[in-house]
Amino acid sequence: MIGLGGSQTLTYLLTSFVFILMTLIFKPKLNLEYENEKLKLGTYVFLSSFLVQASKMFFAEFMVYDLLVSIAIGISSYIFYKIFSNSIIVINEFRIKRVFAIEEVIGASLLLSICATSFREFAIFGFELRNILSILIVLVLGWKNGILVGATSGITIGTVLALMGVGEHNIIASYALSRYGSRNFFKIW
């Protein structure tokens, strides 16, 4: 409420209400195949965010732009739901010796870097803590899991942070290249 204002808070509350209402009316399917996503809620997330965004068109002049934005917000909500539902298991079972899929590890790193963006104005000697933590996540992933996971997570984190407006678009290359220095960086430690 404080950071986004009243209209965005109302949108969030309405989306949550529509989501809960849809899950109560239409029971979600139980998914026993995948361990990460027990209930198939992706379509509910898409529909609830799309319907709330599209309902704004009824109170104003209809424009195709508003319809396209509503669809884009619904798709991005669905994508982030899938990313977060598959990456929470990595954080929950971090101490357990287990092999995780690359998608789960990259999703968890993306989730942690988005959490690190909450340190917006906090800086140490002029270096922003959110950038330090995000690059450290990429370095550790590259060191522990190899070049594929390190470079992919670097590109993913850089792209999402640039799209969120946290950093500039040229930061994508620095996140991708930070994996290459991770082996030498951690040899010092």
pLDDT given at position 174: 61
Least confident of 20-24, 36-40, 150-154: 36-40
pLDDT of 51 over the 90 cut: yes
Q: Where are the domains of the chain?
A: 1-95, 99-189
Q: From CA 22, how far away is CA 99, in angstroms rounded?
A: 35
Integer Rg of the chain from CA: 19
Q: From CA 145, how far away is CA 121, in angstroms rounded?
A: 31
Most confident of 3-7, 43-47, 60-64: 43-47
Q: From CA 55, how far away is CA 69, in angstroms rounded?
A: 12
pLDDT of 29 over the 50 cut: yes
| DSSP string covering 120-164 | -S-EETTEEHHHHHHHHHHHHHHHHH-HHHHHHHHHHHHHHHHHT
Q: From CA 28, how far away is CA 53, in angstroms rounded?
A: 22
**What percent of the chain has pLDDT above 90?**
12
What is the band of 167 on the pLDDT scale with cuts at 50, 70, 90? Answer: low
- DSSP annotation of 110: H
pLDDT given at position 37: 67
The structure tokens listed for 147 are 């070049």
Could you tell me which residue, 167 or 28, shows the higher pLDDT?
A: 28
> Rounded mean pLDDT of 165-184?
57
